[in-house]
Structure formats: C-alpha cells, structure tokens
C-alpha cells in the first residue's frame, strides 16, 4: 500500500473513530453494548496491501463469542517481488481475483466490563477460496471467459471496534493481517497476503 494512501486511510479511520466514540454515549436508540446484539449483518469491505475486496457478512451471538459467515470478491491490484539482490519491485499489471467463502469468530474483549455501546474486539477469519487467473490486457468479459480456476484457502487475524451509529445501524473498523494460499502458483506466487483495513456497514437485531 502506498505510504501517502496509508496515511490518508489512517487519518480517515482515526477521525471516524473519534467522532463515533464522541457520539456513542448520546445515542438513545442503540443497544447497551454491540457485544450483546443477537444478529449483525451487512457489507464487508477490505483495503489491503495487495488489493481490495467487497462482500457481505452475517454474524450471531453466543455466550462468549460471536460467530459468523462471510463471502467476498478480492481483486489483486499490486504485487511486490524481490530480486536476487533483495531490491523490491512493484508489478501493477496483475489479473487475479479470489472468490472467498469463510467463517469468523469474534471475541469482545470488554464484554460486561465497560458500560459503553461501542465494543473493542479480536477476530479471526478463514475459509476456502477459488483463485481466478485471467489473461492480462483483455476486456473484462473476454478475460473471465478464459479464466483458470485454482482452489485455495485463506485466513486472517484482526483487532477492531464495533460502533453503533444510531437506530439499528452500525459500523465496524478493524486492522489486521491476512494470507491467501493457492494450491499452485498464479502470476508467479502461491501465497498472497499482507496488512488489511476492514470497514463493515450493517444493521443489527438486539
């Protein structure tokens, strides 16, 4: 991820966190704690070192953890490799996508310990995926007509916070690291990963 873009993303997330934390105590219609909502579902967006993804999530509560399902489409937009001398080289012309289906487990660190609607958490995600390796330099529909499917799996570890935004809507912000592993190499690599920023927008049921 470009340093300037990373700084802008960090500043935007910090501003959103500050605003949400400031407004959270004043929300009248929200839950007592996001750690105690029974259902939470919505859009799932990732901005990662290797590209970006869009998907959906659905999670439900259990006594200790929250569990869930996720589905997303990740498009690889950048790849860095190191030559014989150890110098990094960035390749922007990559035509590779991952279609991902997985599960998640979320542990709310301060559940029952703080009297705030927002709730910090630790989360782990993982599951199966299909890599779609398509020819570079072709139109969208033409290249997917020649896509080569490669099975694989993925996993990620994250830390973040669930924030109610009024009514039954909420936003989740998290940072972490994730890894995607293909059964064989595509564009010269079997393993794709790095840091990732997660933004989830959804609605919940008490």
31: left (phi over 0), alpha (psi -120 to 50) or beta: beta
Residues 161, 163, 169, 174: is their CA dihedral positive or negative? negative
The pLDDT tens digits of the residues spanning 103-113 come to 999 999 988 77
Which of residues 137 and 183 earns the better pLDDT score?
183
Strand partners, 201: 43, 171
The dihedral of CA 98, 102, 107, 108: what is its sign? positive
Alpha-carbon distance of 112 to 119, in angstroms, equals 10
Secondary structure of residue 4 in the 3-state scheme: helix
| pTM for this model (two decimals) | 0.77
Residues linked to residue 127 through DSSP beta bridges, in sequence order: 102, 154
Place of tokens 């995607």: 180
* DSSP secondary structure of 129-160: EEEEE--TTS-HHHHHTT-EEEEEEEEEEEEE
**What is the spatial distance between Cα 55 and Cα 42, in angstroms, rounded to a whole number?**
9
Residues comprising the chain, all counted: 206
Tokens of 170: 């909420």
Helix (H, G, I), strand (E, B) or coil at 66: strand
For residue 111, give both structure tokens.
């559940």
pLDDT above 90 coverage of the chain, percent: 47
pLDDT digits (tens, 9 = 90+) for 134-168: 877 666 666 667 788 999 999 999 999 999 887 88
List domains and CATH numbers for the chain: 3-205 (2.40.160.20)
Of 46 and 110, more confident? 46
Report the pLDDT value the prediction gives residue 28, as an integer from 0 to 100: 45
Longest alpha-carbon distance in the chain: 60
Q: How many CB atoms lie within 10 A of CB 4?
A: 8
- Please check the confidence at residue 120 and state whether its pLDDT lies above 50: yes
């Amino acid at each position: 991820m470009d340093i300037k873009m990373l700084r802008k993303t960090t500043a935007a997330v910090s501003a959103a966190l500050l605003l949400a934390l400031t407004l959270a105590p004043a929300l009248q219609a929200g839950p007592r704690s996001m750690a105690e909502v029974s259902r939470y579902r919505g859009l799932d967006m990732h901005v990662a070192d290797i590209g970006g993804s869009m998907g959906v999530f659905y999670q439900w509560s259990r006594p200790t953890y929250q569990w869930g399902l996720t589905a997303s489409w990740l498009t690889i937009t950048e790849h860095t490799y190191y030559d014989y001398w150890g110098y990094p080289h960035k390749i922007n012309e990559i035509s590779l996508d991952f279609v991902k289906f997985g599960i998640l487990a979320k542990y709310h660190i301060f559940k029952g310990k703080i009297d705030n609607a927002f709730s910090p958490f630790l989360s782990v995600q993982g599951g199966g995926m299909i890599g779609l390796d398509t020819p570079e330099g072709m139109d969208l529909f033409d290249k997917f007509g020649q896509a080569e499917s490669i099975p694989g799996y993925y996993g990620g570890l994250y830390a973040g916070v669930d924030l109610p935004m009024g009514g039954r809507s909420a936003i989740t912000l998290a940072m972490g690291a994730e890894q995607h592993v293909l059964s064989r190499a595509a564009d010269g690599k079997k393993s794709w990963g790095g840091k990732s920023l997660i933004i989830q927008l959804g609605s919940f049921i008490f």
